[in-house]
Amino acid sequence: MTRDEKKAIVDDLVKQLQATPNVYVTDAGGLTVAQVNDLRRMSFKAGIELRVVKNTLLRKAMEASGRDYSGTFGELKNMSSVFFVAENYKAPAKLIKDFRKKGEKPALKVAFVEEAVFVGDSQLEVLETLKGKNELIGEVLGMLLSPMQTVLGQLSSGGTTIAGVLKTLEERG
């Protein structure tokens, strides 16, 4: 591979890393061509881009992307397949778990999800159940609104009770 070809690959990876903030790096060593093709098909159906890249080129792209991927560098060894996903950051974790029903690979090396680094295959379950920023904000807002809605409900129901009592007293008097 020439220097210009490597530069073109790095430039393409930089654009992809900037467009897709969530990246899963897996160990796909030992997969057959048929298994890799199945994995690619499953990825395509799930809206995930899968690329097999050299670790040195991926690291250069990560360094040039403008994000702090330094926590992932220690795991960039051996053959790597990289899943890029913009929106549904849980999708690669689910895809890997589904694919591994047939075997042990791909094994998660490291994931960079919503500015956090998850190292090791043991983090796959965590990534699958991880709540995103928007989900957490929604839960916090729900918790904040619940007491206010309860107080307003009690005040409005209490208002009708007071009005009823006053009306009864007025009718008596």
User: Could you list the residue range(s) of the whole structural domain that residue 101 is in?
Assistant: 3-130
Residues 104 and 161 occupy one common structural domain: no
Residues 126 and 173 occupy one common structural domain: no
pTM of the model: 0.72
Residues 85 and 120 occupy one common structural domain: yes
Phi and psi at residue 21, to the nearest 5°: -75, -15
Burial letters 91-110, b for 16+ CB under 10 A, else e:
bbbebbeebeeeeebbebbb
Residues 84 and 58 occupy one common structural domain: yes
The yes-or-no verdict on residue 165 having pLDDT over 70 is no
Residues 74 and 20 occupy one common structural domain: yes
CATH number at residue 28: 3.30.70.1730
Give pLDDT tens digits for 99-157.
888 878 888 888 898 888 888 888 888 787 776 667 767 777 777 767 766 666 665 66
In the chain, how many domains are there? Answer: 2
Give pLDDT tens digits for 31-72.
888 888 899 999 999 899 998 888 889 889 888 888 888 888
**Nearest to 45, CA basis, from 95, 107, 81:** 95
The yes-or-no verdict on residue 96 having pLDDT over 80 is yes
The yes-or-no verdict on residue 6 having pLDDT over 80 is yes
Other Cβ atoms closer than 10 A to 10:
21
The yes-or-no verdict on residue 158 having pLDDT over 70 is no
Q: Tell me what pLDDT residue 159 has.
A: 57
SS3 85: strand
Residues 139 and 157 occupy one common structural domain: yes
Residues 20 and 42 occupy one common structural domain: yes
